[in-house]
Amino acid sequence: MTAEEVAQYLQQNPEFAEHYADLLASIYVPHPHDGRAIPIGERQLITLREKNRLIETKLRELIRFGEENDDIGEKMHRLSLALLKARSMEALLYVLENNLREDFEVPHVALRVWGMDSGADLPEFSPVGASEIEIAESLTQPHCGHHVAPGLLSWFGEAGEHLRSFALVPLPGERAKGLLVLASEDPRRFDPDIGTLHLKRIGEWVAAALSRF
């Protein structure tokens, strides 16, 4: 009789454990960690404890992810309210950068907008090269990574040489009408594998807020 046949028999005859309880109690199997022999019942308890620990670990992870999502949701809510309350272009740009720096802890923020007459002499409306506009118009969603084109890097001035990760957030419209670039010295901050849903929403909110002026 093979081991598979024994296992199949036990599965098909659950009453075996009840009829031969003393026999099962006398069976010893190797300990899963130190190799010593232990009763089969003790081995089952160890297996159950390990499964419980895995379940507890997954539950803690789910709770942590939920708390992080709640925190991000609250920050997104504060940003949307700040953009709605802005009464001028200058105020809008100030609350956007301040919120991203203070609330989202993004150390470097650069925004360029084109195709709009702001009526104000602001760096965000400085002339933008054709290559940077082409980059923005090629993006269908935000892009994160460790490198950007030199033209985009120049938006950060002297800080540019120290930056190691970037998030490119296009401002949507019939065609992209602007580009928001977030950057950090930490190469893990805007890793290519991170999700971009919240970045996409920020781009949509900023584009809608700018259209008010």
Contact 175, 197 (CB under 8 A): no
Amino acid identity at 90: E
Question: Quick check: pTM over 0.75?
Answer: no
Distance CA 110, CA 141 (A): 17
Give the mean model confidence (pLDDT) for residues 141-155.
Answer: 95
Residue spans of the domains in the chain: they are 1-85, 88-211
CATH topology of domain 88-211: Beta-Lactamase (3.30.450)
Work out the widest C-alpha separation in the chain, in whole angstroms.
90
Task: Choose between 61 and 82: higher pLDDT.
Answer: 82
Res. 203: pLDDT tops 90? yes
Q: According to DSSP H, which parts of 86-159 are helical?
A: 89-102, 130-138, 150-153
Q: What is the DSSP letter of 193?
A: T
Task: Choose between 113 and 68: higher pLDDT.
Answer: 113
Give the mean model confidence (pLDDT) for residues 53-73.
Answer: 83
